[in-house]
Amino acid sequence: MTYRAFPLLAAFALSFALISPPMTAQAAGCPIPFYGIFCAPLSLLDTAYGPIARAFQVSPGGNEARYGNYSLLRDEFLPLTDWAPIHSTQEQLVRNVWATDGISGTIRGYGSVDTEFGPATWGVQFADFGSLGVLGRFGIYNFLSNTFYPEGDWRAPTTR
């Protein structure tokens, strides 16, 4: 009897694998990943709209990407940029980066695109504020200038 169950289980596992999104999307840290959307691990910030991650969406052709915000509550991607040529499709983790306002921190992002100012990633800068703890803010990191350009207020990170 146990030998008859094995082919059935194998067929079920194979069908599940064929309809599942690519593992790279799940490994990339999107709260509820779906095809073409990637987020850096541990990059969710608490906002008035619930937890938001800065996300990287790959075009259907695979040669361009755009950035946007991924809402965990709404399970929705809202584009922030136009499509641009892909520079990298890897997680970005850059330490000791200075922002234009003089604060140093760690950058987390996913992927990078080519811009007229060089490769850049739209991500989150995290900094330790002592008794306030570690906070994050959205912005743009430019790889050529090694500078972070903040786009908002500091927020508490979340793992929800």
- Tens of pLDDT, residue by residue over 80-139, are 999 999 999 999 999 999 999 999 999 999 999 999 999 999 999 999 999 999 999 999
Which pLDDT tens digit goes with each residue over 53-85?
A: 999 999 989 999 999 999 888 888 899 999 999
Q: Which two tokens stand for residue 110?
A: 């996913």
Q: What is the pTM of this model?
A: 0.79
Q: Where are the domains of the chain?
A: 22-150
Bridge-based pairing state of the strands 64-71 and 84-99: antiparallel
Phi, psi of 93 (to 5 degrees): -135, 105
Q: Is 100 exposed, middle or buried (0-12, 13-18, 19+ CB in 10 A)?
A: exposed
